[in-house]
Every structure is written in structure tokens, then in C-alpha cells.
């Protein structure tokens, strides 16, 4: 596969952008390759600057649930852009978006728009501290909630991929106010609560982890967290930046019948444009300025282009009851195809899937948390990734990221992916 134009661009980029990329995992560092530079995308496909075509299972890291460049979303963006790209003032679309989110997620009574998932989680934590008057938070090893200081302690996603468990630049005082529990282990949470009585403001969790690979919650885990938070006056925050409107129309909280105090959102609500949001109980949200004393602001929050794209996206998801069933069926077909390869050849691999989120782990261990995810053979994954990429199938360049199905993936795409995966896996395990 010729990637000479990508290689030239990467060389140029390294002179003016740290590491040559604007987000670390894009560098392909953990898979030992030069990153590909994308020129365009449509439906389930992407094309790089060298003209190579790929079946895409990254989907801009989740938001492209209807595929790339969906006509209705493009039309919404064009219409909004014709009126102006940004005002720094209130617009009707912000109200429409807030009403849509509140109607689809019953736990969300009020919502504030921001510009990214990191802004959403950072603001939710600040709000929880303001509401409770306490400082300490609990997060989970391997869960990634953006790059705010409070979260870069045993973080998943790019930090996990690059082997950076903690980040320089995070003050010790902030780090000491973040406690880490084990995902799917209620006893680890109970011990932290007991050891820090009346100090914990919030517990934040990815209901389905997507940032150490796809890791679903054990039965009763989320319900147990809800009970612990209620009993100990802790604000329970579900980070649905990735799962919101992805695993079901009402997010993971609908799928698992759980009601958080606050929810953070992103990805799909922007229809592919930069966006984030946090929302929840009215009594908590009313503390946000200007209705309350907890200050949070953003000049571009509620950007009209992002709102238009997100409204178009959510309306389509709401209006078509077949979308989530179709996504699950397509994802199941791919999962079953890979499983047949694993079983036929007795390969030491594990698959996890929740709806249209999934990961193939290069370990024979059942992956339920950070420690079991880390048993994966990242060198074998890197070989597999390169083989898939060279044959035109694009997964995330990291063992510790989820993959995503879209409605635009065809039966032919899935069959092609299974065929390519078999060749790639046979090559990996023949070494």
C-alpha cells in the first residue's frame, strides 16, 4: 500500500505540531507506523491522501452512527452556515437541542451545552463539588473522562495506549483529590468511601467503558454504584460522551435502567462537529451560572452549526425505530464471524460487545477491568492492525479503544471485514 503522501505530510506536521498530530492516538505510535492522513469520507468508507480506500470502524471515535457525510446532516449544516457560523449569543437551536436531549434522557431535566467531552466532564465535577461542598472524587482505573487535571490518574484511552499512567503538569493537590476504584468491583468503591467518610463529592464512571477497549458492566454493578452514592450523599455521574445515543436512544442509562444525578454527553449530539453537554437533576443544574454561583462559560458553546448537525442527528435517531436493531444485528454478524475464526483455530483472543460498540482483545482472559485489559498482547495487536489497514479495513490504532458500527456499513463491508480478519489473524499467529 502506497502511503507516501501521508508520510510527507507527517514529516511536515512534526515540524509545527507536537508529535505531528493534534490528538495522541492519531500518531500510530503504539502500532509502529506512520499515521495515515484522511482526505474524505462517505458512508462506511474513508479515503486517505494517497487514494487508499478503507472500511471505517472508528467513525470519528463514535459519532458517525449514521455514517460519514450523511445528506440530512450536511443539509442542516449548510442551512445553518448560510445564516452565519457563530454569534456568541443565544439561538433557537440551543433551545431545540436542550429540549431534545431532555426528552430522550429522562434523568436530564436541564442541560448546558459546551464544546467537548472534556469540558462536559470537567464542568460536571465542578458542579458536583459545588453542590456537595466536598472536594474528592472517585473514578475508575482505565476509564477516560477527558484531559482535565482531575482525570489524568490511571486514565484509559490515549494515556493507556502510550503507557502514560499519569501526566506531568497535574498538581499533587489535585491528584490527591482523585481516588481510583476497580471497574466492575463494588467492594473497591465501598473501601474508598469508608476510608474517606464525608469527603467524596462525586463518583464518575463510563457505564460501558470504551477507553480501555469495550468493557461492559457486570450485572448489578451500575445499580450498586447508584445505591452507594445515594446512601453516602455522593453525586453519581454517568459519562455518556461515548455511549449516549450510541448503545440505545436513551443511552446506557436506558439500556441498564439506571438514573444518574448528572450525565455528560458529546460525540453523537454534534453530528460530527465539536460539542459536549452536561445535564441532570434540576436542583443541581440550577447552581450553574447565571442561575447559580458555579461559574462555567464558553464563547462557542451552543455553536449554531454544531446544534444544527446534532438536532438533525437526534431527530433521525428518534424517528426511525429500526436503527438500533439494525446496528445490533450488523455488529452481531461481525462478532459471530470473528468468533468462528477464533474457535476454529483455537486463538487466544477475547471479544467484548455492547450494541454497536466492540473490541477484539489479544488475550485469552475475560476482559472486565483495567488489569485484565492490560493482559492483551499489544505487539500482536499492532501486527494485526497493520495487516487489516493494508487490506483496507480501518480500526483504531490502539488495542485499548472501542470500534463502532454505523448504519451505513453494508453486508458486503462486514463479509469483507471477516475475510480480511481471518487472513490477518492467521498471519499474526503463524509467526
DSSP letters for 375-415: TS-HHHHHHHHHHHHHTTEE--SSTTS-EE--TT--HHHHH
- Whole-number Å distance between alpha carbons of 131 and 235: 8
Active site residue 144: yes
- Whole-number Å distance between alpha carbons of 226 and 263: 13
Phi, psi of 239 (to 5 degrees): -85, 95
- Whole-number Å distance between alpha carbons of 81 and 72: 14
**64 within 8 A of 269, measured Cβ to Cβ:** no
**150 within 8 A of 177, measured Cβ to Cβ:** yes
Q: What is the dihedral of CA 20, 24, 26, 29, to 10 degrees?
A: 80
Angle between helical axes of 92-104 and 304-319 (0-180°, round to 10): 30
Residue whose C-alpha cell reads 497535574 in the numeric block: 170
**261 within 8 A of 281, measured Cβ to Cβ:** yes
Active-site residue, selected from the candidate residues 134, 154, 267, 330: 267
Active site residue 394: no
At 364, is the secondary structure helix, strand, or coil?
Answer: coil
Q: Tell me how far CA of residue 86 lies from CA of 2, 72, 75, 134, in angstroms.
A: 40, 21, 17, 37
Active site residue 267: yes
Cell numbers linked to 80: 445553518
Residue 148, Cβ neighbours under 10 Å: how many?
Answer: 16
Residue whose C-alpha cell reads 492519531 in the numeric block: 26
Active-site residue, selected from the candidate residues 144, 183, 324, 384: 144
Active-site residue, selected from the candidate residues 48, 239, 261, 413: 239
- Whole-number Å distance between alpha carbons of 169 and 153: 12
* Per-residue burial over 388-422, b = 16 or more CB atoms within 10 Å of its CB, e = otherwise: bbebebbbbbbbbbbbbbbbbbeeebbeebbebbb
Q: What is the dihedral of CA 310, 60, 24, 366, to 10 degrees?
A: 110
- Catalytic residues, which ones? 144, 239, 267
Amino acid at each position: 500500500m502506497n502511503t507516501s503522501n501521508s508520510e510527507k505530510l507527517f514529516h511536515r506536521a512534526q515540524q509545527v505540531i507536537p508529535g505531528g498530530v493534534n490528538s495522541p492516538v492519531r500518531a500510530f505510535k503504539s502500532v509502529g507506523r506512520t499515521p495515515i492522513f484522511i482526505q474524505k469520507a462517505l458512508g462506511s468508507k474513508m479515503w486517505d491522501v494517497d487514494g487508499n480506500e478503507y472500511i471505517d470502524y472508528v467513525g470519528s471515535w463514535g459519532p458517525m452512527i449514521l455514517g460519514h457525510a450523511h445528506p440530512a446532516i450536511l443539509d442542516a449544516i449548510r442551512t445553518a452556515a448560510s445564516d452565519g457560523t457563530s454569534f456568541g449569543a443565544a439561538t433557537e437551536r440551543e433551545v431545540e437541542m436542550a429540549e431534545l436531549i431532555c426528552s430522550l434522557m429522562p434523568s436530564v431535566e436541564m442541560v448546558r451545552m459546551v464544546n467537548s467531552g472534556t469540558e462536559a466532564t470537567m464542568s460536571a465535577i465542578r458542579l458536583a463539588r459545588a453542590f456537595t461542598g466536598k472536594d474528592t472524587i472517585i473514578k475508575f482505573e482505565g476509564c477516560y473522562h477527558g484531559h482535565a487535571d482531575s482525570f489524568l490518574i490511571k486514565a484509559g484511552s490515549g494515556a493507556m495506549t502510550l503507557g502514560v499512567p499519569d501526566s506531568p503538569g497535574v498538581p499533587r493537590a489535585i491528584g490527591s483529590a482523585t481516588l481510583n476504584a476497580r471497574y466492575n468491583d463494588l467492594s473497591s468503591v465501598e473501601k474508598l468511601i469508608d476510608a474517606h467518610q464525608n469527603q467524596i463529592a462525586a463518583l464518575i464512571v463510563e457505564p460501558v467503558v470504551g477507553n480501555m477497549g469495550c468493557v461492559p458492566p457486570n450485572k448489578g454493578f451500575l445499580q450498586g454504584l447508584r445505591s452507594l452514592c445515594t446512601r453516602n450523599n455522593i453525586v453519581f455521574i454517568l459519562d455518556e460522551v461515548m455511549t449516549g445515543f450510541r448503545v440505545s436512544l436513551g443511552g446506557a442509562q436506558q439500556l441498564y435502567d439506571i438514573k444518574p444525578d448528572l450525565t455528560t454527553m458529546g460525540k453523537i449530539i454534534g453530528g460530527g462537529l465539536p460539542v459536549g453537554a452536561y445535564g441532570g437533576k434540576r436542583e443541581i443544574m440550577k447552581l450553574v451560572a447565571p442561575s447559580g454561583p458555579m461559574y462555567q462559560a464558553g464563547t462557542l458553546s451552543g455553536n449554531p452549526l454544531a446544534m444544527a448537525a446534532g438536532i438533525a442527528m437526534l431527530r433521525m435517531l428518534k424517528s426511525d425505530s429500526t436503527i438500533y436493531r439494525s446496528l445490533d444485528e450488523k455488529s452481531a454478524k461481525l462478532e459471530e464471524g470473528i468468533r468462528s475464526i477464533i474457535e476454529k483455530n483455537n486463538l487466544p483472543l477475547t471479544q467484548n460487545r455492547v450494541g454497536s460498540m466492540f473490541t477484539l482483545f489479544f488475550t485469552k482472559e475475560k476482559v472486565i477491568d483495567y488489569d485484565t485489559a492490560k493482559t492483551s498482547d499489544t505487539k500482536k495487536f499492532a501486527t494485526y492492525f497493520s495487516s487489516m489497514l493494508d487490506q483496507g479495513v480501518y480500526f483504531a490504532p490502539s488495542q485499548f479503544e472501542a470500534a463502532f458500527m454505523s448504519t451505513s456499513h453494508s453486508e458486503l463491508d462486514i463479509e469483507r471485514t471477516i475475510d480480511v480478519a481471518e487472513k490477518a489473524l492467521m498471519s499474526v499467529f503463524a509467526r
